[in-house]
Structures are given as structure tokens and as C-alpha cells.
Amino acid sequence: MKILVANLGSTSFKYRLFEMTNEQVLARGGVERIGSVESRAFVESAGVREELTVQAKDHAVAVRLCLAQLADPKRACLRDPSELAAIGFKAVHAKDVTGVQRVDERVLQAMEEYADVAPAHNPPYIAAMRLLNQQLPQIPLVAAFETGFHETIPDAHRYYAVPLEWAEQHGIKRWGFHGASHRYIAGRASELLRKPDAKIISCHLGGSSSLCAIQAGKSVANSLGMSPQTGLPHNNRVGDFDVFALPALLRGTGKSLEQLLDDLANRSGLQGLSGFNDLRDIEAAAAKGEPRAELALSVFVGAVRHYLGAYLVILGGADAIVFTGGIGENSVRMRESICQNLEWFGIQLDSVRNAVAKGESTIHSENSRVQLWIMPTNEELIVARQAKSLLERK
Ligand code: ADP
């Protein structure tokens, strides 16, 4: 069974093609600058990369083009485009429509209802999914929702203290996100620790970031809440924020509520504090003594440690803390700062190991009771597995 896992942006489409009998990636590729006169398509299979300029006016044209490239006899990743069993999507938010779903009108309408709750994520997915359903109706589309892994979060960590009917009628509760990544880490960590009931704190730190407390493979808390804007500061999204700051901001700035929400979703987080979007630039600026950069790093580290402490209490300790995502996997400085002075909790980082670690590896010292790991996540594999299980159920 061959499944294509798609990653969509408003003007981009990237994919990995999986052969599910052995879970191998047969090819990866995509199209960038969709909608412009000169879109760029690239495809990489069996170690060979090819790039070409194409005309892809929309996502449906881009997908057709990619399928034709994959079926090209010189590549032969697909016998023909109809061999594709499904396109899987890491979809973000559709309220109580969660888990893994065939993309139909009911699912699209539920995503639409929350388009303004997940403004960076839902709109491009809805637009592309609708177009693909219309133009390539022979290919099943499957959405694996980020909220699905968090269905096991108990009420104590799910409910906000608001009028109860808001939760029931409007879905105002902590849904949790980054489900594909935390699900992968839950499975991989319990395999590596050889402990199915392990207590794991998964730290997905990247363009957007969250911590997840995992017990026996199940999510029991996630720092992302009602929307993917909450919890830790993200690259340009705010993280936790007091809504009663809004009246003061409305008065003080003269901006509308929509403009302020746009600032919180696009010009806040690490970028709002430091002026830079990418952690590498922030670390470089901090190394030159730039105070705003230092402030952004310390706020980020403070927020990670805040949730780390909370999750150690929720789980009653941890067998392992796992770092993943672009920052978690690559930033020596962030891992070092997050783990500082936690000896009392049995957490001791080995600075030398931390500095040289690459890929899946341990970074704790001999005396650490809690194991510290770097694990590259694999969200696409989780989406492919979920899509496969849905197709086999039907
Ligand atoms: P996304 O959440 O968008 O999938 P990633 O998980 O790929 O993003 O993380 C992207 C972020 O990882 C970048 O914004 C950058 O800040 C950070 N990053 C990547 N490589 C490094 C590195 N070597 N050192 C520090 N930060 C890094």
C-alpha cells in the first residue's frame, strides 16, 4: 500500500511517499511558489534529486504534477497515479471531529468553524483539501488530527475554569496539538527504554513548541490548549497570555481586536521579544550581547522549565525527558539551559555528550536517575500509519 503524506502551506505542497509494507520512504518532493508563473517542483528518490520550473496555478495542479513525476518510468515510485491508496494530512483543528477521518464535507465544515482558532493552519488545508476532493476525486484524502493523541487527557488538565457550558457548547477546552510528534515519541521512547508503562516528558521545540506528559503511551497533559497559539512561546505566536491585557491594548494602541489577534498570532513569541524569527539568529545575537535576544531565550527557557516542573509533578517523576523538533534536536544551548540545576529531581545533563550529540542519542550523565534523550521525530510516518489503519478498517 502506497500513501503520500502531504504538508501544505498557502503556496507550497511538500510530500513523502511511503510504501507501507515496510514503512520505507520511496520519495520526497513538492512544489513551491504555487500560484506564481514560475513554480518550482522537486523530487528526490533513490538518492537522486531533480528540480524543475513548472506552472502550478493551484494545489490540485501541483499534486497532479507530483504524481506524474512519481509515476515516470525512470523513477517508477508509482506504477501509475491510481496506485496511490490515499493522501494523508497532518490536520490541526476541527473541534470534536478528531482522530483520523476521511476528508468529507462534514470534516471540512468542522475545520472551517475553527479557521480563526488555528489561522496559520486550517485555512490553507481547507482550501487545498476542497480543491483536491473536487479535482482528484479518485484519491481518498485522510486527515489525521493533531488533537487525536490528546483524547486521553483527563478532565483535570482539559478544562479551563470558565462557565461550564462554554466547554460543552463552544469547545472552550484544552484540546492539545503536536499529536503526531508526541505520539511518535511516546512509541519510540517506550521501545528504546524497553518500558511500555514509561513516564515520558516529550519536549517538541521548533517553529512551534509544546511539552507533553505521557504515561504508558498515553497523553495526560499538553502545553498547547484551546488553540495552537498557547503554552510555550512559539517562533511568532504568543504562547500563554492573560486575556485581560486585551482591554488595555485596545485602548492603548487604538487597534481593533482583529489586529491585536493578528499581532498575537504573527508578531509575538520569540520574534516579538527579539526581533528574530529563527532561534539560530537569536542565539547568534545573544552571543554578541544583544539584550532583546537574551531576554527572548530566557523567557523561552523559563516557559519550558515551568511546564517541565508541572509535568514532573503530574507524572510523579519521569523515566525520560525527550528533546525533539528543530530546536530540541539541534540547540545545545537550549537543552543545557533547560536542564540546569535539576539535580534535586534526578535530572543531570552531561555537557560533553550534549555538545556532540547528533540524531537519536542519550545526553544524561551516569548519575542521572532520569534519562535525557534527543530523538528526531517522524510525524509523517505517524500520519501514514493512521491513514493506513483507516483504509484497512473501511
Ligand atoms: P516547525 O515547527 O516549523 O516544523 P522545526 O521543528 O523544523 O519547525 O524547527 C524549526 C526551528 O528550529 C527553526 O526556527 C530554528 O529556530 C530551529 N533550529 C534549527 N536548527 C537549529 C540549530 N542548529 N540550532 C538552533 N536552532 C535550530
**218 has a pLDDT exceeding 90:** yes
Query: Which is nearest to 384 in space by CA: 8, 45, 19?
Result: 19
pLDDT score for 304: 98
Answer for the pair 349, 365: CB distance below 8 angstroms, yes or no.
yes
Among the atoms of ligand 1, which is closest to the Cα of residue 270? 16
pLDDT band at 82 (very low <50, low <70, confident <90, very high): confident
pLDDT score for 228: 95
Q: How far is CA 39 from CA 9, 67, 72, 99, in A?
A: 14, 16, 20, 33
- CB-neighbour burial class of residue 323 (10 A; exposed 0-12, middle 13-18, buried 19+): buried
CA angle, 335 as apex, 334 and 341 as ends, to 5°? Answer: 105
- The preferred substitution site among 7, 276, 327 for testing ligand 1, maximizing ligand atoms within 8 Å of CB, is 327
- Dist. CA 292–CA 271, nearest whole Å: 10
pLDDT score for 135: 86
Supply φ then ψ for residue 30, to 5 degrees: 160, -175
Determine which helix (DSSP H) or strand (DSSP E) holds 307, and give its type and residue range. helix 291-315
pLDDT score for 376: 97
- Dist. CA 330–CA 352, nearest whole Å: 14
- The preferred substitution site among 331, 336, 380 for testing ligand 1, maximizing ligand atoms within 8 Å of CB, is 331
Q: What percent of the chain has pLDDT over 70?
A: 100
Q: What percent of the chain has pLDDT over 90?
A: 91
Ligand 1 contacts (CB < 6 A) are 206-208, 235, 278-280, 283, 325-327, 330-331
Q: How far is CA 68 from CA 62, 64, 283, in A?
A: 10, 6, 42
**394 has a pLDDT exceeding 90:** no
Tell me which residue has its CA closest to atom 23 in ligand 1: 330
Tell me which residue has its CA closest to atom 3 in ligand 1: 207
Answer for the pair 153, 175: CB distance below 8 angstroms, yes or no.
no
- The preferred substitution site among 224, 277, 280 for testing ligand 1, maximizing ligand atoms within 8 Å of CB, is 280
**pTM for this entry:** 0.95
CATH topology (fold) of 2-144? Nucleotidyltransferase; domain 5 (3.30.420)
3-class secondary-structure state, position 213: strand
pLDDT score for 11: 87
Q: How far is the CA of 279 from the centre of ligand 1 (A)?
A: 7
**What is the pLDDT averaged over residues 115-120?**
92
Q: How far is the CA of 82 from the centre of ligand 1 (A)?
A: 36
**170 has a pLDDT exceeding 80:** yes
Q: How far is the CA of 153 from the centre of ligand 1 (A)?
A: 27
Q: How far is the CA of 237 from the centre of ligand 1 (A)?
A: 15
Supply φ then ψ for residue 8, to 5 degrees: -110, 140
CATH topology (fold) of 195-374? Nucleotidyltransferase; domain 5 (3.30.420)
Query: Which is nearest to 325 in space by CA: 204, 174, 180?
Result: 204
CA angle, 287 as apex, 281 and 289 as ends, to 5°? Answer: 110
Grid cell, residue 66, equals 507530483
> What digits encode the pLDDT tens for the residues 248-293?
999 999 999 999 999 999 999 999 999 999 999 999 999 999 999 9
Question: Which part of the chain is CATH 3.30.420.40?
Answer: 2-144, 195-374
